[in-house]
Amino acid sequence: MARWYVCGLALAAAELLLIFATVFSAKGLRGKEFQGASRIPSQFSEEERVAMKEALKGAIRIPTVSFSHEKSNTTALAEFGEYIHKVFPTVFSTNFIQHEVVEQYSHLFTVQGSDPSLQPYMLLAHFDVVPAPEEGWEVPPFSGLERDGFIHGRGTLDNKNSVMAILQALELLLIRNYIPQRSFFIALGHDEEVSGTRGALKISELLQARGIQVAFLVDECSFIFDGFIPNLKKPCAMVSVTEKGALDLLLQVNMTPGHSSAPPKETSIGILAAAVSRLENTPMPNMFGSGPLKMTLEQLANEFPFPTNIVLKNLWLFRPLVSRLMERNYITNTLVRTTTALTMFNAGVKVNVIPPVAQASVNFRIHPAQTVHEVLELVKNIVADDRVQLHVLRAFDPLPISPSDDKALGYQLLRQTIQSIFPEVDIVAPGICIANTDSRHYTNITAGIYHFNPVYLQPQDFSSIHGINEKISVQAYETQVKFIFELIQNADTYTGPVPHVHEL
């Protein structure tokens, strides 16, 4: 009897031990694999949803306009700094997050992850905006008014939506006690619209001095495009893997002034007008076939009806046809060539005086397959008039092409997150950023520069960027917050392009 009793006790003890062991090992496993158990669902309460849209509206109401370095609203830039402290208190009070102000107004956050073996990444955005004269707007551009489900105002797409969504997603994760494993940086620029040389450039120098290299960064300038290409009924998420270069040229003609009653055969105005007109009428060469556009089209091919699918799949044969079709539309045209935009023209002092000097500015956006030097040579040949002086005001080459293969962590993380947040989008393709962004200042700290805003964009929305009636739907903004909330977690749990093989 006693023996049985002892035996029974021993058995019970063993059983208890076993239970403990199972519980502990299960915990250990979950801790290691991470995904399932510690994942925080991207669901927000009604109260949180109201707070997040109100936070964006408040940001829109601060008129952080950059007109030039000399002319920017520094009061508003400073106020914006105070504003983010107020609406994201947890971000600023968390002990593993360091906050630094760079060049008075830009912000750098260092979020220290728990696993130092994982290479950090970086999220970029800017909170300065281009000016917005009130004419033509349905609602005043700095009112942040909500109407018919949309928040209106300058910066709702470019780029306060990203600034606020990044901090908002982090705030919500922190409130839920999330502790990131992979470190990351958040860099918020205050002078992107006027070159980023005070904000982004200084932040990149600071990080470089600290010996930091990031695995990848994500910035503005690409969207889920919807309705841009005739025949392509489905939306297409483009993650841009390169950015165009730029060249700002000043063209100047000087002549001896005199009495307009006895004019010379040609005036500075006439000579300059003819030169810029030649530039406008002689587009830079079509570079179709080089750069990431070929990859994009190959991936898109299957989404088109017959015969476009066949045409796109056989570019070796149809290249001339496709390249001509791309030129026809002013948006797809940007993807095949260096664009030429005549943006300023000044001359003359009085109606009866022969003008001493005429000046024009031309803004080129350089195709990734060309260089500043090549564009300058082409311009000289087109202008072909020694009386027209060419002065380079600013120039930089296109960015290198970031990897988009199976091993490219940044690209794959974005692809994975797009697929989970936008299940209806089945095309994710590499693209080209046709404008310029702060990310070009970060080539010293990463080879993985990706442009993606998790927001749908239709052609009319495209014209609102730097134009009138810029707006974002409340639902689109919530989805952007959700996307970043997931992206941060995915960066911690990412296991490679073919996950879960071990479970088979």
Ligand X SMILES: N[C@@H](Cc1ccccc1)C(=O)O
Ligand Y SMILES: CC/C=C\C/C=C\C/C=C\C/C=C\C/C=C\C/C=C\CCC(=O)O
Spot the catalytic one: 158, 191, 192, 303. 192
Residue 195 is a binding residue for Zn ion (CB under 5 A): no
Q: Closest separation between CB of residue 157 and ligand Y, Å?
A: 7
Q: Which is nearer to ligand X, 125 or 170 (CB)?
A: 125
Q: Closest separation between CB of residue 447 and ligand Y, Å?
A: 21
Interface with ligand Y (CB under 6 A)? 158-159, 192-193, 220-221, 225, 228-229, 236, 238, 296-297, 331-332, 334-335, 434-435, 437, 462, 465
The b-or-e profile of 25-43 (16+ CB within 10 A means b, else e) is eeeeeeeeeeeeebeeebe
Residues forming beta bridges with residue 252, ordered by sequence position: 359, 389
Q: Closest separation between CB of residue 49 and Zn ion, Å?
A: 25
Which are the contacts of 75, defined by CB distance < 8 A and separation ≥ 6? none
Does the active-site annotation cover 82? no
Q: What is the largest CA-CA distance in the chain?
A: 132
Alpha helix ranges (H) inside 304-360: 308-313, 315-328, 330-336
Does the active-site annotation cover 298? no
Instruction: Single out the residue of 42, 106, 110, 159 in contact with Zn ion (rule: CB under 5 A).
Output: 159
Spot the catalytic one: 128, 171, 220, 303. 128
246: partner contacted, choices ligand X, Zn ion, ligand Y, none (Cβ within 5-8 A by kind)? ligand X
Q: For residue 315, what are the CA distances in angstroms to 290, 309, 342, 344, 499?
A: 12, 10, 33, 39, 33
The CB-nearest residue to ligand Y is 435
Interface with ligand X (CB under 6 A)? 192-193, 195, 246, 435-437
Q: Which is nearer to ligand Y, 371 or 439 (CB)?
A: 439
Return the structure tokens found at 275. Answer: 């030169």
296: partner contacted, choices Zn ion, ligand Y, ligand X, none (Cβ within 5-8 A by kind)? ligand Y
Instruction: Single out the residue of 128, 158, 219, 243 in contact with Zn ion (rule: CB under 5 A).
Output: 158
195: partner contacted, choices ligand Y, Zn ion, ligand X, none (Cβ within 5-8 A by kind)? ligand X
End-to-end CA distance of the chain: 49
Q: Closest separation between CB of residue 296 and ligand Y, Å?
A: 5
401: partner contacted, choices Zn ion, ligand X, ligand Y, none (Cβ within 5-8 A by kind)? none
Edge-to-edge order in the sheet of strand 339-347: 339-347, 357-366, 245-254, 389-396
Q: For residue 191, what are the CA distances in angstroms to 72, 92, 105?
A: 9, 22, 9
Q: Please report the beta strands in 348-435, taking only residues with DSSP state E, as ranges in sequence order.
A: 353-354, 357-366, 389-396, 428-433
Q: Give the pairing type, strands 184-189 and 217-219.
A: unpaired
420: partner contacted, choices Zn ion, ligand X, ligand Y, none (Cβ within 5-8 A by kind)? none
Q: How far apart are CA 224 and CA 318, in angstroms?
A: 27
Edge-to-edge order in the sheet of strand 471-473: 146-147, 150-152, 471-473
Q: Which is nearer to ligand X, 107 or 126 (CB)?
A: 126
Q: Which is nearer to ligand Y, 146 or 470 (CB)?
A: 470
The answer to whether 326 and 335 have CB atoms below 8 angstroms apart is: yes
Q: Which is nearer to ligand Y, 44 or 228 (CB)?
A: 228
Considering only residues 219 to 238 of the shown chain, the ones binding Zn ion according to CB under 5 A are 220
Q: Closest separation between CB of residue 142 and ligand X, Å?
A: 19
Q: Closest separation between CB of residue 435 and ligand Y, Å?
A: 4
Q: Which is nearer to ligand Y, 192 or 486 (CB)?
A: 192
Q: Closest separation between CB of residue 220 and ligand X, Å?
A: 9
Q: How far apart are CA 435 and CA 447, in angstroms?
A: 19
Identify the DSSP state of 34: -
Q: How far apart are CA 15 and CA 51, in angstroms?
A: 51
Q: Closest separation between CB of residue 71 and ligand X, Å?
A: 14
Q: How far apart are CA 320 and CA 282, in angstroms?
A: 19
Q: Which is nearer to ligand X, 106 or 417 (CB)?
A: 106
- 3-class SS of residue 99: strand
Q: Closest separation between CB of residue 339 and ligand Y, Å?
A: 11
Which are the contacts of 442, defined by CB distance < 8 A and separation ≥ 6? 122, 124, 200, 204, 214, 217, 449
304: partner contacted, choices Zn ion, ligand X, ligand Y, none (Cβ within 5-8 A by kind)? none
Q: How far apart are CA 95 and CA 448, in angstroms?
A: 29
Q: Which is nearer to ligand Y, 52 or 465 (CB)?
A: 465
Q: Which is nearer to ligand X, 195 or 402 (CB)?
A: 195
| Site residues (vs Zn ion, CB under 5 A) | 158-159, 220
Q: Which residues are catalytic?
A: 128, 192
